[in-house]
Amino acid sequence: MLKFGVIGYGYWGPNVVRNLTSLEGSQLLAVADDSLTARKRVQKAYPGIQVTPDASEVILSAEIDAVAVVTPVWTHYELAKAALENGKHVFVEKPLTFKAGEAEELINLAERKNLKIMVDHTFLFTGAVKKIRQLIDDGTLGNLYYYDSTRVNLGLFQHDVNVIWDLAPHDLSIMDYLIQDSPLGVVATAEKHLNSLEDIAFLTFYFPNNIIAHVNVNWLSPVKVRTTMIGGEKKMLMWNDLEADEKIRVYDKGVEQTTSREGIYETLVKYRTGDMWAPQVENTEALKRELEYFVDCITNNRTPINDGKAGWRIVRMLEAANQSVKNRGALVELRREELAAA
């Protein structure tokens, strides 16, 4: 039985706690939050669980095997580092850290201590992303052309990170998982309207093989939109995460170029407009699947798909995007270097 502690019971922490209390093979022993209101909420919902204002009580507990860090981004590095130093496996919220160098340190520390890092890239465990990955792997979509996502809503304004660091980690982790390659560079533009943090942003990533990815994130949208279009050589798809049924629609549409008998100077463009179908998508809560997988990775010594290295790749993309924004959309190249630890 794997024993867990959770640090942070604000907006997202209750979801992690709820899932950990019902997971087979794991037991939640303690929750730490420095806010009295948050601690009262835990105590009311889970009277049997130890509640403390002090994160170090969780980190130093001899009984706890794994710690979930569900606090604001700027605290992830220190808390995850302390947990690893004290022999705990860590489940860290996205994005893993504020700086790629910090992520690298955590990866090296975990390797030295033979511990697991899992970054909460929740969307990788949704039925939709699993289905899209299957459609790519089995060749249904063909070679990828583009990934184009809109993730916008009104708020929730964060105090420590801009809209890129808040919302884009979802798309970047999905892209990283689906495209299965590292971007060559990014061009990003953004603007701030209410405080010193950007609230709307447009990110464009260039990948090898002419794959291009665009992500629009916005805290100032009158409506909530969660749509992603993925174009492939053979098929194209539209994923609307707010749809209850038919979240994914696959279109047998595309363009083919042929050359006429007169020669290459008369290239013909043929449009293909075939059927549309909506594949079945599994509906289990992604966070439940992810935490089950974390327990499995620890128990059976497997490397998670969303390990520290995946977290590092996302932080690198975020850092590069921020740098491009600072330079009003100048291209920031991402050298195709791998981690020293990789």
Ligand X SMILES: NC(=O)c1ccc[n+]([C@@H]2O[C@H](COP(=O)([O-])OP(=O)(O)OC[C@H]3O[C@@H](n4cnc5c(N)ncnc54)[C@H](O)[C@@H]3O)[C@@H](O)[C@H]2O)c1
Residue ranges in contact with ligand X by CB under 6 A: 7-13, 32-35, 38, 55, 70-73, 75, 93-94, 120, 122
Min separation Cβ 286 and ligand X, Å: 8
The Cα-based distances of 276 to 130, 196, 229, 280, 283 in angstroms read 19, 44, 14, 13, 21
Min separation Cβ 12 and ligand X, Å: 4
At position 48, the amino acid (one-letter code) is: G
Q: State which residue, 89 or 170, has the beta carbon closest to ligand X.
A: 170
Q: State which residue, 130 or 253, has the beta carbon closest to ligand X.
A: 130
> How many other C-beta atoms lie within 10 A of the C-beta of residue 293?
17
Q: How far apart are CA 30 and CA 331, in angstroms?
A: 46
Cβ–Cβ < 8 Å for 23, 295? yes
DSSP-assigned states of every residue in 204-224 = EEE-STT-EEEEEEESEEEEE
Min separation Cβ 15 and ligand X, Å: 8
Cβ–Cβ < 8 Å for 220, 128? no
Q: How far apart are CA 7 and CA 58, in angstroms?
A: 8
Cβ–Cβ < 8 Å for 57, 30? yes
Cβ–Cβ < 8 Å for 119, 189? no
At position 246, the amino acid (one-letter code) is: E
Q: State which residue, 19 or 216, has the beta carbon closest to ligand X.
A: 19
* Strands 332-333 vs 66-69: parallel, antiparallel or unpaired: unpaired
Q: State which residue, 8 or 232, has the beta carbon closest to ligand X.
A: 8
Q: State which residue, 236 or 314, has the beta carbon closest to ligand X.
A: 314
**Burial group, residue 47, by CB count within 10 angstroms (0-12, 13-18, 19+):** exposed
Q: State which residue, 33 or 235, has the beta carbon closest to ligand X.
A: 33
User: Closest residue (Cβ) to ligand X?
Assistant: 10
Query: In the structure encoding, which two tokens stand for residue 225, read together?
Result: 């939109």
Q: State which residue, 8 or 254, has the beta carbon closest to ligand X.
A: 8
Q: How far apart are CA 156 and CA 190, in angstroms?
A: 17
Min separation Cβ 236 and ligand X, Å: 27
Min separation Cβ 9 and ligand X, Å: 5
Q: State which residue, 135 or 152, has the beta carbon closest to ligand X.
A: 152
Min separation Cβ 188 and ligand X, Å: 19
Min separation Cβ 13 and ligand X, Å: 5
Q: State which residue, 102 or 207, has the beta carbon closest to ligand X.
A: 102
Min separation Cβ 249 and ligand X, Å: 24
Q: How far apart are CA 121 and CA 315, in angstroms?
A: 12
Min separation Cβ 256 and ligand X, Å: 39
User: What angle, 0 to 180 degrees and rounded to 10, lies between the N-to-C axes of helices 13-21 and 286-299?
Assistant: 60
